[in-house]
Chains A and B, each alone.
Chain A
Amino acid sequence: GENVEQHPSTLSVQEGDSAVIKCTYSDSASNYFPWYKQELGKRPQLIIDIRSNVGEKKDQRIAVTLNKTAKHFSLHITETQPEDSAVYFCAASRRTLTFGKGTMLLVSP
């Protein structure tokens, strides 16, 4: 089955810096890659997703890139703010979502 590796497990940045989270997947047939943000004690929230026919997608301060050949995709957050602090999960799907183990992002004022 699909296996998703996510790095780093923790990431600390200063407010205003950029943050990058990287994921690799194993199933070359996966064609959908969402990213979720989960604040402590709250539900995972879909923040952006990308399909395999697209190489990059941007939504305000967040962007996702996909390299199908290398089977990796990344989340980029620019101009980070303290409210961006949360656990971020990547996922890959051919038919069902397989999640990475998460990255705890801490943005210090």
Chain B
Amino acid sequence: DAGVTQSPTHLIKTRGQQVTLRCSPKSGHDTVSWYQQALGQGPQFIFQYYEEEERQRGNFPDRFSGHQFPNYSSELNVNALLLGDSALYLCASSLGQGARNQPQHFGDGTRLSIL
């Protein structure tokens, strides 16, 4: 039973560039949430996708956008990268956004470094 997988594992970018991170949910899950985890902090909610639509959004600027595909996989896009965007980006999947607050299972994350 495949768990949540994310790619790439590490990424180095420079300020102003754009980045795309990818996530495949756990088998059987249909909802994907993205989090940003700064060093020494708890994960911070970015947004959640269900049925290919953004359903919930945290306090992040429009530079952060996403997409969900018919196979439930998801992408996180960040434009105009800033030094402060350096963090671990975590994807979590769950089942049934309509039935809220189902357990979320995390991937290993993508470590993004901005130079």
Contact = CB atoms under 8 A, between A and B. Distances in A.
Interface of A: 1, 4, 6, 31-32, 34, 36, 42-46, 49, 51, 89, 91, 93, 95-102
8 contacts: A34-B104, A43-B90, A43-B106, A46-B103, A51-B101, A97-B33, A99-B44, A101-B40
A34 B101 CA distance: 10
Dominant SS at the A interface? strand
A42 B100 CA distance: 26
Interface of B: 4, 33, 35, 40-45, 48, 56, 58-59, 90, 100-101, 103-109
A95 B43 contact: no
Contact of B42 (A45, A96, A99): A99
A93 B101 CA distance: 7
A45 B5 CA distance: 14
A96 B108 contact: no
Contacts of A51: 101
B59 A1 contact: yes
A52 to B, nearest CB: 10
A32 B42 CA distance: 17
Given A97-B45, A99-B44, A45 B106 contact: yes
A73 B109 CA distance: 27
Highest count of chain B CB atoms <10 Å: which of A6, A32, A43, A91: A43
A89 B42 CA distance: 7
B100 A95 contact: yes
Highest count of chain A CB atoms <10 Å: which of B42, B45, B104, B106: B42
Contact of B43 (A6, A42, A99): A99
Contacts of A100: 42
Nearest to A99: B42
Given A96-B48, A98-B45, A99-B43, A42 B104 contact: no
Highest count of chain A CB atoms <10 Å: which of B48, B56, B101, B108: B101
B42 A43 contact: no
Contacts of A91: 42
